[in-house]
A and B are shown apart, each in its own frame.
Chain A
């Protein structure tokens, strides 16, 4: 059946190059998560507000992000925006697509978390003399992050996995892109992508472990 000689040493020799790619993967994922979280807070507030425009815009964003493929969103950032004269490089298109996606999914988790926080919390904060923004920032938001910590961890893993889609818009610097470059040069598809799969698995596990440690440190009271 296997009339094929595996050349693992080639893959091992390329390991440093792939590790640099992994760094770009982590960079894009972390940036998309930070930006996505900031946007998601605004979207969640918009979704719960009585302001028609705010509600409409937030709903449109969230439903589009959740009901179309992430790859479509990246294509839209890369090819679609070009028609409007906005030309994003693959790196920026990938970041924009994943951030858009993250923001939509996180906004829904945040909305659920905000619903779970008793309104008396806000009222108590306001009675202490805090302004509405201050009450949200110092009292409601920390509780919101605490409740939605597990879904945020999941979304971070998703962000890592989604960065591999940069390959399809021609990004050559992230882990998947570097692997594809090596593959095109050597045609050792299986060896290189198996190596990439192991690295992705390790990154995902590291994120889960890091989140567990952070939760243990942050939420021990």
Chain B
């Protein structure tokens, strides 16, 4: 039972898959956060009626399974003749997907800043931009950061779905090894351990931050 045909080369292959997983996560979270911050700020500031189209699009991104979104986008890019690689499609869709969740987190953070605080800032003669940069965002950041860490980890786990487009990320590389070595339980357990090692420390950090910042409130 404790014999395995797994070699160092295979481990390196898994590590490369993990690298792709992390690369897609980093790109999706980077663009998703920038977009999500803009969307969230718009949703927190503008009226519900004016942002209805944006709200609807973000809602669709959160209510349609990610796998279906990836398949649709991939089909659409070939229909439209864009000639995108699966990697590009995966990054675009995951960025939009991340932005939909991030917008809610940012909106929640901004709305958690009491209105009187913002009015006080404006009464001191600050412009809207100064109020945002120096008062609202620093306070909103504390509320939003734990949720954002959770979102980042969620996106990291959701990148597993891009294997359907043929991208060889961590889970797909484990499947390739399983097909060759016929040791599904061991290799899958190893893969799970890699995901766990990436996710768990960051999740713990997020939990600790959340707890520590709550004490100061």
Contacts and interface: CB of A to CB of B under 8 A. Distances in A.
- For the complex, would chain A's binding face be called helix, strand, loop or mixed by DSSP majority? helix
B65 A190 contact: no
B67, B178, B189: residue with the most chain A Cβ atoms closer than 10 Å: B67
For this complex, into which size category does the number of interface residues on chain B fall? 35 or more
A68 B196 contact: yes
Given A68-B196, A84-B185, A165 B69 contact: no
Given A63-B200, A71-B161, A201-B60, A196 B79 contact: no
Nearest to B197: A67
B68 A196 contact: yes
A4 B69 CA distance: 20
Contacts of A64: 192, 196
A83 B183 contact: yes
Interface stretch (B7-15, B70-78, B119-127, B134-142): B70-78
Interface of B: 60, 63-69, 71-72, 74-76, 79-81, 153, 157-161, 163-164, 171, 175, 178, 183-186, 188-189, 191-192, 195-196, 199-200, 203
Given A69-B160, A76-B188, A161-B63, 8 more contacts: A2-B80, A67-B196, A79-B184, A167-B164, A168-B67, A190-B76, A196-B68, A197-B64
In the complex, the 10 A-B pairs of residues with the closest C-beta atoms, listed nearest first: A164-B65, A83-B185, A69-B160, A204-B63, A67-B199, A69-B157, A189-B75, A190-B75, A79-B184, A161-B65
